[in-house]
A and B are shown apart, each in its own frame.
Chain A
Amino acid sequence: MLRRYKTVPDLKAHESAAAISFVDPALACKLTAMGVRPGAVIEMIRKAPFGKAYYIKVDGIRLALREEEAFSILLEI
């Protein structure tokens, strides 16, 4: 089955995609307040040295997200 979306961990380094929506309301609440909103373009910078976290850029803001947080953002394909 073809997926209609992907999530942040699917992005390769320096690949970007626009956010569509969130999976988890608690995380959505936190992330929207930090500037990650539907429509915002998310750029993957790199994975954490020991994994399980991602360094991303959203509108010039640099953020570190945990794997669960990164998975909760749905992106356009």
Chain B
Amino acid sequence: MTRGDAQTYKIALVGNPNSGKSTIFNQLTGLRQKTGNFPGVTVDIKSGKIRFAGGIEAILTDLPGTYSLYPTSSDEKIVAALLTHPAHANFPDGIVYIADTNHLEKHLLLLTQIMDLGIPILLALNMSDTAAELGIKVNIIRLSERLGVPVVFVSGRTGENIDRLQAELEKMMLGTQAIHKTAAFYTPTEAEKQLVEAVQLNLGTENPYRALLIAHHYQWLPFLQHSERETLAAIVETKHFQSLRAQVDETLDRFDRFTPFVQESVQEAPTFPNTTTDRLDALLTHRIGGPLIFFAVMLLMFQAIFDWSVYPMDWIETGFSWLNDGLKAALPAGWFSDLLTDGILAGLSGILIFIPQIAILFLLITILEEVGYMSRVVFMFDKTMRRAGMNGRSVISLIGGGACAVPAIMSSRTIGNWQERLITIMVTPFISCSARIPVYLVLIGLAVPAVKIGGLINAQTLVFASMYALGVIAAFASGWAMKKWLRTREPSFLAIELPEYRMPDWKNVALTVWEKVAAFVWGAGKIILFVSIALWGLSRFGPGNAVETAENTAREKAQTTQLSTSETEDLIAHHRLEASYAGQMGKFIEPAIRPLGYDWKIGIALLTSFAAREVFTGTLAVLYNMGSAEPDISSRTDNQAKVTMRAKMREETFSDNGKPVYTLATALSLLVFYALALQCMSTIAVVKRETGSWKWALFQFTFMSALAYVVAWLVYLLFS
């Protein structure tokens, strides 16, 4: 290796969107890949190891797809920022450039830009499934000669020629590439030359094209210091440099230069007959059929999530209750056994129970993206989204929000306009995510009768669907309000490619789903586990010997009123909880939540849910089941457990007036609160990361909480 073994060779994978980059990345790295945080940019970038025959290794990084080094979105800016910054820890030693063989011309623009940066590069022509069908034939030897870079054919789909690509890579690493072009592809204009010289002189940038790019992007390139930015601003000012005009001229000049090369090398030009894609689009983007099909797809998707997840969720629940009972029986009774079962196991099951739904939702969303349907949705709903201050691309975030707001917020990076992206980030958590489902199910089962309204729709289903509708309405209404309030003059783009429909790359689908589920389990999982252990401690212990005193009081009370053993247990549990730290916290906030119809126990659940809303059901389970272990607990099925919990919740009364807590009004008010409030630490963290400041994260939290409180209060007033 040229740089010695101490420093691993770094290869970056670059190409336009839809060039088939990720499939080739998977082919080259296999499963030896991970998603890591890239220093300097708040973005997760995939990297993986390539192993060569001689035991040599290289690190391959998959950079976001971009059309040129003149970016219009934060995703694309990453590429330009990295390639203009040789001191960056991840600056590539060599680049593998992936181009779609069928649209060679369009894909060569970025290649020639990178060539001018002087980074060793290798062109891989990706043959999509349809390349043969379109009848294109390319003379790669001629193309390689004219461009001055090695060219190989590969197929990301079938893995054909991946070994050839690897062999070329090895040559690039060893510095034994047959062709090495030194002359710049683009000849700058006189004005640009003077500008470049001034930048080189002041910043010490060696490569002229890099100097030119820095002059174009000095306002946002993250590695520039304040003084450098001022110097560059002065240079651009004195040279009267018109950045946008120059970008267009340069782009057109490049096209003029390489178009003849393409014409010489392409022996048989592709024909673009009326393909399956056109026939499908006539239906899928039809002015009436298109939106109808979209809503049908969404309906089927959410239907599938519920239908398919029933069994795995049952297995997980059964498994955990079996484990719980087993541990309780095997371990001596005491705080350790309680911590293990009521604290840690309860927390773990709270995490794992979501996996089936999240996995199915991610699977379906990934498939829709892979086949190319999502960009059609972006096209169809751009106008609708713009009314609410967003971009057509926001649809992808909002749909993803149905699974989990965290990855959904991250997918907003493709939106170039900052205001549109910000609004998307702000409103995505309103969409009911899978963590809200169990909360909805428990509360609806508790308070809404399973009657058919007008002999047609089940009242429970109706309330459930209304919660989703409420989230969508809240998202659009607040987006619309934010649009009125924020005003930027930054350009906004739709301009999106509608790729050919294709079969999903199943390996890529599996990897994506795996990554997102794993990220959820580790990210949210840590919080849920922590909260459930903390909750266990808070509800078991109290200040001084308050808990013990409460237990004694309860025991005396039970004796005087001659309660049965199980009734005594329940009374003790109740008194202990009331005296515990958790009970005190609940009592403390009770005055604030009483107008919404909640008691101190719900108060505890609300407090713990602020870390993660999925904690709600777990908290209630702890609050309503604690201490009252029934003798036949092992034979009890999970449905019965839920029924027992619901039965206990139904019996719950307010301590001051003895009225039942869980009336329809309280349940609906709680439902609305959970639908609208931002109760998720992971979301707050990701919003802080994506917006770069606590300001927006706190704004969102405050806004959503206030809205949830007010609407829940109104709902309670309306129904009580």
How far apart are the CA atoms of A76 and B100 in the complex, in Å? 29
A61 touches B106 (CB 8 A): yes
Pick the contact of A63 from B255, B496, B500 — CB < 8 Å? B496
Q: Which residues in A have their C-beta under 8 angstroms from that of B498?
A: 55, 62-64
A34 touches B67 (CB 8 A): yes
A33 touches B109 (CB 8 A): yes
- Taking chain B's interface residues, is the majority helix, strand, or loop, or is none over half, making it mixed? helix
Min distance, Cβ A50 to any Cβ of chain B, angstroms: 5
With A61-B103, A64-B498, A66-B495 given, is the CB distance from A53 to B272 under 8 Å? no
B68 touches A55 (CB 8 A): no
Q: Which residues in A have their C-beta under 8 angstroms from that of B287?
A: 46-49
Asked if B164 lies at the interface with its beta carbon under 8 angstroms from chain A, I say no
What does the 1/0 interface line of A31-60 toward B look like (CB < 8 Å)? 111110110000001111111110101011
Q: Which residues in B have their C-beta under 8 angstroms from that of A47?
A: 287
Q: Which residues, 331 to 383 on B, are CB-close (under 8 Å) to A? A: 375, 378-383
B103 touches A29 (CB 8 A): no
Min distance, Cβ A47 to any Cβ of chain B, angstroms: 7
Q: Which residues in A have their C-beta under 8 angstroms from that of B290?
A: 49
Min distance, Cβ A20 to any Cβ of chain B, angstroms: 13
How far apart are the CA atoms of A26 and B499 in the complex, in Å? 24
With A25-B245, A59-B105 given, is the CB distance from A34 to B255 under 8 Å? no
Min distance, Cβ A55 to any Cβ of chain B, angstroms: 6
Asked if B248 lies at the interface with its beta carbon under 8 angstroms from chain A, I say yes
Asked if B270 lies at the interface with its beta carbon under 8 angstroms from chain A, I say yes
Asked if B252 lies at the interface with its beta carbon under 8 angstroms from chain A, I say yes
Pick the contact of B70 from A29, A45, A57, A59 — CB < 8 Å? A29
A30 touches B72 (CB 8 A): yes
Asked if A17 lies at the interface with its beta carbon under 8 angstroms from chain B, I say no
Q: Which residues in A have their C-beta under 8 angstroms from that of B494?
A: 53, 64-66, 69
Asked if B247 lies at the interface with its beta carbon under 8 angstroms from chain A, I say yes
B103 touches A50 (CB 8 A): no
How far apart are the CA atoms of A35 and B68 in the complex, in Å? 11
Max chain A Cβ within 10 angstroms of own Cβ: one of B105, B375, B382: B382
With A62-B277, A64-B375 given, is the CB distance from A32 to B383 under 8 Å? no
With A35-B106, A49-B287 given, is the CB distance from A64 to B70 under 8 Å? no
Q: Which residues in A have their C-beta under 8 angstroms from that of B496?
A: 63-64
Q: Which residues in B have their C-beta under 8 angstroms from that of A27?
A: 491, 493, 495
Asked if B102 lies at the interface with its beta carbon under 8 angstroms from chain A, I say yes
Of the four ranges (under 10, 10 to 19, 20 to 34, 35 or more), the interface on chain B belongs to 35 or more
Asked if A11 lies at the interface with its beta carbon under 8 angstroms from chain B, I say no
A25 touches B382 (CB 8 A): no
A63 touches B499 (CB 8 A): no
Asked if B288 lies at the interface with its beta carbon under 8 angstroms from chain A, I say yes
A29 touches B251 (CB 8 A): yes
How far apart are the CA atoms of A34 and B70 in the complex, in Å? 12
Q: Which residues in B have their C-beta under 8 angstroms from that of A38?
A: 252
How far apart are the CA atoms of A31 and B278 in the complex, in Å? 22
Min distance, Cβ A35 to any Cβ of chain B, angstroms: 4
Q: Which residues in A have their C-beta under 8 angstroms from that of B134?
A: 60
- Taking chain A's interface residues, is the majority helix, strand, or loop, or is none over half, making it mixed? mixed
Q: Which residues in A have their C-beta under 8 angstroms from that of B286?
A: 46, 49
Q: Which residues in A have their C-beta under 8 angstroms from that of B407?
A: none
Q: Which residues in A have their C-beta under 8 angstroms from that of B380?
A: 48-50, 53
Q: Which residues in B have their C-beta under 8 angstroms from that of A60?
A: 102-103, 134, 270, 272
A34 touches B106 (CB 8 A): yes
Asked if B384 lies at the interface with its beta carbon under 8 angstroms from chain A, I say yes
What does the 1/0 interface line of B228-254 toward A look like (CB < 8 Å)? 000000000000000011011001100
B106 touches A59 (CB 8 A): yes
B68 touches A33 (CB 8 A): yes
A62 touches B493 (CB 8 A): no
Q: Which residues, 493 to 548 on B, are CB-close (under 8 Å) to A? A: 493-500
With A25-B245, A29-B247, A38-B252 given, is the CB distance from A66 to B382 under 8 Å? yes
A32 touches B252 (CB 8 A): yes
B106 touches A62 (CB 8 A): no
How far apart are the CA atoms of A66 and B251 in the complex, in Å? 22
Min distance, Cβ B106 to any Cβ of chain A, angstroms: 4
How far apart are the CA atoms of A48 and B497 in the complex, in Å? 14
Min distance, Cβ A64 to any Cβ of chain B, angstroms: 4
Asked if B118 lies at the interface with its beta carbon under 8 angstroms from chain A, I say no
Pick the contact of A62 from B70, B251, B497 — CB < 8 Å? B497
Q: Which residues, 262 to 286 on B, are CB-close (under 8 Å) to A? A: 270, 272, 277-278, 281, 285-286
B291 touches A26 (CB 8 A): no
How far apart are the CA atoms of A49 and B289 in the complex, in Å? 9
Min distance, Cβ B715 to any Cβ of chain A, angstroms: 32
User: For residue B384, which residue of chain A has the nearest CB?
Assistant: A50
B277 touches A69 (CB 8 A): no
User: For residue B72, which residue of chain A has the nearest CB?
Assistant: A30
Max chain B Cβ within 10 angstroms of own Cβ: one of A25, A26, A33, A65: A33
Q: Which residues in A have their C-beta under 8 angstroms from that of B281?
A: 45, 55, 62
Min distance, Cβ A76 to any Cβ of chain B, angstroms: 17
With A61-B497, A64-B498 given, is the CB distance from A49 to B248 under 8 Å? no
Pick the contact of B251 from A33, A63, A64 — CB < 8 Å? A33
Q: Which residues in A have their C-beta under 8 angstroms from that of B384?
A: 50
7 new A-B pairs (CB below 8 Å) besides A49-B291, A55-B285, A55-B379? A32-B255, A33-B67, A46-B286, A50-B380, A53-B392, A60-B103, A64-B497
Residues of B within 8 A of A (CB): 67-68, 70, 72, 102-103, 105-106, 109, 134, 244-245, 247-248, 251-252, 255, 270, 272, 277-278, 281, 285-288, 290-291, 375, 378-384, 386, 392, 491, 493-500
**Pairs A-B, 6 closest by C-beta atoms:** A35-B106, A64-B379, A60-B272, A25-B244, A66-B494, A62-B498
Q: List 24 A-B contacts (CB under 8 A).
A: A25-B248, A27-B493, A30-B72, A33-B67, A33-B70, A34-B67, A34-B106, A34-B497, A35-B103, A45-B278, A48-B379, A48-B382, A51-B383, A55-B281, A55-B285, A59-B272, A60-B103, A62-B277, A63-B497, A64-B375, A64-B379, A65-B494, A66-B382, A66-B493
